[in-house]
Amino acid sequence: MNQFLEQRPIQVCADIVDLARNLVGKASWKLKAKEHEAPYFVDCSSLTKRLYLQKGILIPRLAIDQFQFCRIFGKTITLEEVLPGDLIFVGCPFSWGIFTGEQRPFGHVCLVSGQNTIVCASNSELGTGVLEISFEQLFRTRAFSGAGRIIPEDIDNLLPNCCNTQGGE
């Protein structure tokens, strides 16, 4: 059985937050960072993808696709409902590293790390590298696009029937 499924959801979320915090100030931001460059170089969505993958959860590469993943396999939530381990999606005034000034919805993804704090990879007005900042700092320049929960409260429903180790079909 997948080791992720054997742990309580709250512990999985705590582990993901710990993994993220361990990269703060150590990893650098790089546009279109490749998986093999992590953990040294990441962008916002490669960071979240890597963090979840380290706990055995494969999510898509791009921020907009990660939001769609939450909609299909997890759930979308309000900003008031976010908990550590959830994802927050915001607009981004950059397009492939070039400032456009136009807020692209779902252009940036962040991991909720605590009450009103996030960890993200950035090379913008938010800072450079992997950083932990407050919601206040994030929303000063970014518009909220949505939030998602990949790890449900009832972890047994995450991957129904696919991880049955009892044999058979």
Weakly modelled stretches of the chain, pLDDT under 70: 1-8, 152-169
Which pLDDT does position 168 carry in this prediction? 38
Domain extents in the chain: 3-152
Which pLDDT does position 163 carry in this prediction? 38
Which pLDDT does position 34 carry in this prediction? 83
Which pLDDT does position 30 carry in this prediction? 80
Which pLDDT does position 154 carry in this prediction? 56
Which pLDDT does position 4 carry in this prediction? 44
The model carries a pTM of 0.82
CATH 3.40.50.720 fits 3-152, yes or no: no
Question: What tens digit of pLDDT does each residue of 98-107 get?
Answer: 778 788 899 9
Write a three-state SS string for 56-68: CCCCCCCHHHHHH
Question: What tens digit of pLDDT does each residue of 9-30 get?
Answer: 888 999 999 999 999 999 888 8
